[in-house]
Amino acid sequence: MAGATQTYEGGCHCGSVRFRIEADLSELTRCTCSMCTKKGMLGCYVPAQQFHLLQGESELTLYQFNTRVAKHFFCRNCGIHAFMNPRSNPRAFAINARCLDNFDLDARQYETKVFDGRNWEAAQEARLTSARLESASPTRAPHPPAE
């Protein structure tokens, strides 16, 4: 279900890190990987040109694990992980919708897609297969997954 791309701002808990995105939030991804489960990631994905860090670059700390491709950034003051560069597309940004201002998860209409990050390789292969099939249909763009 494609919705409208809108501008949103968000940040960490203490306010040191602030960012703005242009995103379509009609579909959010819940990844089952060990990291996203613990941080409660409800992801939306945007290309780098639709992510703008407004402040707090010096407050960001990087956490990496496993293949060390994904970049999990968090605020060194309050510990909140608001966004990351996912393993599936390190040049894109995955933002935790829970960190957006004025985005009420209970009031909004959105679909939740599950990415089986616990079985990342198989889930990624399934996603790419599905993207190839969907590319035959010009109305749907492949949806980037999480890690």
- Region near Zn ion per CB under 5 A, out of 36-44, 62-70, 73-81, 133-141: 73-81
* Residue choice 53, 60, 78, 126 for contact with Zn ion (CB under 5 A): 78
DSSP bridge pairs for 94: 45, 84
Cα separation, 136 vs 2, whole angstroms = 17
Residue 53 interacts with Zn ion (CB under 5 A): yes or no: no
Query: Closest approach of Cβ 119 to Zn ion, in Å?
Result: 32
Computed over its alpha carbons, how large is the radius of gyration of the chain? 15
Cα separation, 138 vs 24, whole angstroms = 18
Q: What is the DSSP string of 17-59?
A: -EEEEEE--SEEEEE-SHHHHHHT--EEEEEGGGEEEEE-GGG
Distance of CA 40 to the CA centre of its chain: 11
* Residue choice 33, 42, 44, 75 for contact with Zn ion (CB under 5 A): 75
Residue 94 interacts with Zn ion (CB under 5 A): yes or no: no
* Residue choice 16, 29, 85, 96 for contact with Zn ion (CB under 5 A): 16
Please say which residue, 17 or 123, places its beta carbon nearer to Zn ion: 17
Residue 77 interacts with Zn ion (CB under 5 A): yes or no: yes
Give the residues lining the site for Zn ion (CB under 5 A): 12, 14, 16, 75, 77-78
